[in-house]
Chains A and B, each alone.
Chain A
Amino acid sequence: MAQLVIDNITKAFGAVEVLTDISLQIGDGEFLVLVGPSGCGKSTLLNLIAGLESITSGELLIGESVVNDLSPKNRDIAMVFQSYALYPSMTVRQNITFGMDVRGVPKVEQREKVQEVADLLQIGQLLNRRPAQLSGGQRQRVAIGRALVRDPKLFLFDEPLSNLDAKLRVEMRTEIKQLHQRLGTTIVYVTHDQIEAMTLATKIAVMNGGVIQQFGTPQDIYDNPTNVFVAEFIGSPPMNIFPGKVCSDGNSAEIQTKKSGNVVLELDRCEARDMIAPGQEILVGVRPEAFSNQAPLGAEGNVQTVDLIIDVVEPTGPDDLVIIELGGKEVVARLEPQSCAPETVSTLLIDKTKLALFDADTERNLLQS
Chain B
Amino acid sequence: MISRILIYASLIVLAVIFLLPLWVLIITSLKDLDEIYAGGIMDLPQNPSLQAWARAWGTVCVGLNCTGLKAFYANTFMMAIPSVFLSTFFGAILGYILIKWRFKNSELVFGLILFGAFMPFQAILIPVSQTLSYMGVRDPVLSLIIIHTTYGIPFTTLFFRNYYVTFPDELVNAALIDGAGFFRIFFKILLPVSTPIIVVAVIFQFTGIWNDFLFGVSFASGKDVPVTVALNNIVNVTTGRKQYDLDMAAAVLAALPTLLVYIVAGKYFLRGLTAGSVKG
Q: A85-B168, A85-B170 are in contact. Are A78 and B177 (CB under 8 A)?
A: yes
Q: In the bound complex, how far is the Cα of B178 from the Cα of A103, in angstroms? A: 8
Contact B193 A52 (CB under 8 A): no
Q: In the bound complex, how far is the Cα of B193 from the Cα of A78, in angstroms? A: 24
CB distance from B60 to the nearest CB of A (A): 48
Q: In the bound complex, how far is the Cα of B176 from the Cα of A79, in angstroms? A: 11
Question: Closest residue to A94 on the B side, CB-wise?
Answer: B188
Contact A88 B173 (CB under 8 A): no
A71-112 residues with Cβ-Cβ distance < 8 A to B are 71-73, 77-79, 81-83, 85, 87-90, 98-99, 102-103
CB distance from A117 to the nearest CB of B (A): 15
A55 at the interface (CB under 8 A from B): no
Contact A89 B178 (CB under 8 A): no
A50 at the interface (CB under 8 A from B): yes
A10-59 residues with Cβ-Cβ distance < 8 A to B are 47, 50, 52
Contact B189 A87 (CB under 8 A): yes
Contact B170 A98 (CB under 8 A): no
Contact A98 B180 (CB under 8 A): yes
Q: A82-B170, A83-B170, A85-B168 are in contact. Are A73 and B193 (CB under 8 A)?
A: no
Q: A89-B189, A89-B192, A89-B193 are in contact. Are A73 and B176 (CB under 8 A)?
A: yes
B43-84 residues with Cβ-Cβ distance < 8 A to A are none
- Which of A71, A78, A85, A90 has a CB less than 8 Å from the CB of B173? A85
B171 at the interface (CB under 8 A from A): yes
Contact A102 B180 (CB under 8 A): yes
Residues of A within 8 A of B40 (CB): none
CB distance from B100 to the nearest CB of A (A): 12
- Total inter-chain residue pairs, C-beta < 8 Å: 56
CB distance from B165 to the nearest CB of A (A): 16
Contact A87 B175 (CB under 8 A): yes
Contact B177 A79 (CB under 8 A): yes
Residues of A within 8 A of B193 (CB): 88-89
Interface size class of A (residues with CB under 8 A): 20 to 34
Residues of A within 8 A of B39 (CB): none
Contact B173 A103 (CB under 8 A): no
Q: In the bound complex, how far is the Cα of B177 from the Cα of A77, in angstroms? A: 7
Question: Closest residue to A80 on the B side, CB-wise?
Answer: B174
Contact A73 B179 (CB under 8 A): yes
Contact A79 B174 (CB under 8 A): yes
CB distance from B211 to the nearest CB of A (A): 34
Residues of B within 8 A of A89 (CB): 189, 192-193
Question: Closest residue to B168 on the A side, CB-wise?
Answer: A83
Contact B171 A87 (CB under 8 A): yes
Q: In the bound complex, how far is the Cα of B180 from the Cα of A85, in angstroms? A: 14
Q: In the bound complex, how far is the Cα of B180 from the Cα of A103, in angstroms? A: 9
B99-153 residues with Cβ-Cβ distance < 8 A to A are none
The interface bits of chain B over 160-176 (1 if a CB of A lies within 8 angstroms of the residue's CB, else 0) are 00000000101101111
CB distance from B123 to the nearest CB of A (A): 38
A315-365 residues with Cβ-Cβ distance < 8 A to B are none
Contact A98 B177 (CB under 8 A): no
Q: A88-B193, A89-B189 are in contact. Are A73 and B178 (CB under 8 A)?
A: yes
CB distance from A147 to the nearest CB of B (A): 9
Residues of B within 8 A of A98 (CB): 175, 178, 180, 188
B184 at the interface (CB under 8 A from A): yes
Contact B174 A81 (CB under 8 A): yes
Residues of B within 8 A of A50 (CB): 173, 177
Q: In the bound complex, how far is the Cα of B184 from the Cα of A82, in angstroms? A: 23
CB distance from A348 to the nearest CB of B (A): 49
Q: A87-B189, A89-B192, A102-B184 are in contact. Are A81 and B178 (CB under 8 A)?
A: no
Residues of B within 8 A of A71 (CB): 176
Contact A102 B178 (CB under 8 A): yes
B5-38 residues with Cβ-Cβ distance < 8 A to A are none
Question: Closest residue to A143 on the B side, CB-wise?
Answer: B174
Q: In the bound complex, how far is the Cα of B179 from the Cα of A221, in angstroms? A: 37
Contact A102 B179 (CB under 8 A): yes
Q: In the bound complex, how far is the Cα of B169 from the Cα of A85, in angstroms? A: 9
CB distance from B166 to the nearest CB of A (A): 12
Residues of B within 8 A of A82 (CB): 170
Residues of B within 8 A of A81 (CB): 170, 173-174
Q: In the bound complex, how far is the Cα of B179 from the Cα of A88, in angstroms? A: 18
CB distance from B234 to the nearest CB of A (A): 47
Residues of A within 8 A of B177 (CB): 50, 52, 72-73, 77-79, 99
CB distance from A1 to the nearest CB of B (A): 20
Residues of B within 8 A of A88 (CB): 171, 192-193
Q: A81-B173, A81-B174, A82-B170 are in contact. Are A103 and B189 (CB under 8 A)?
A: no
Residues of A within 8 A of B173 (CB): 47, 50, 52, 72, 79, 81, 85
In the complex, besides A83-B168, A85-B170, 15 extra interface pairs with C-beta distance below 8 angstroms are A72-B173, A72-B176, A72-B177, A73-B178, A73-B179, A79-B177, A81-B170, A85-B168, A85-B171, A87-B175, A88-B193, A89-B189, A89-B193, A98-B188, A102-B179
* B binding-site residues for A, Cβ under 8 Å: 168, 170-171, 173-180, 184, 188-189, 192-193
* A binding-site residues for B, Cβ under 8 Å: 47, 50, 52, 71-73, 77-79, 81-83, 85, 87-90, 98-99, 102-103, 146
What are 18 residue pairs bridging A and B, where the CB atoms are less than 8 Å apart in the complex?
A: A52-B173, A52-B176, A71-B176, A79-B173, A79-B174, A81-B170, A81-B174, A87-B171, A87-B174, A87-B175, A87-B188, A88-B171, A88-B192, A89-B192, A98-B175, A98-B188, A102-B184, A103-B179
Sorted from nearest, which 9 A-B pairs have the closest CB atoms? A99-B178, A89-B192, A73-B179, A85-B174, A85-B170, A102-B179, A81-B170, A72-B177, A72-B176
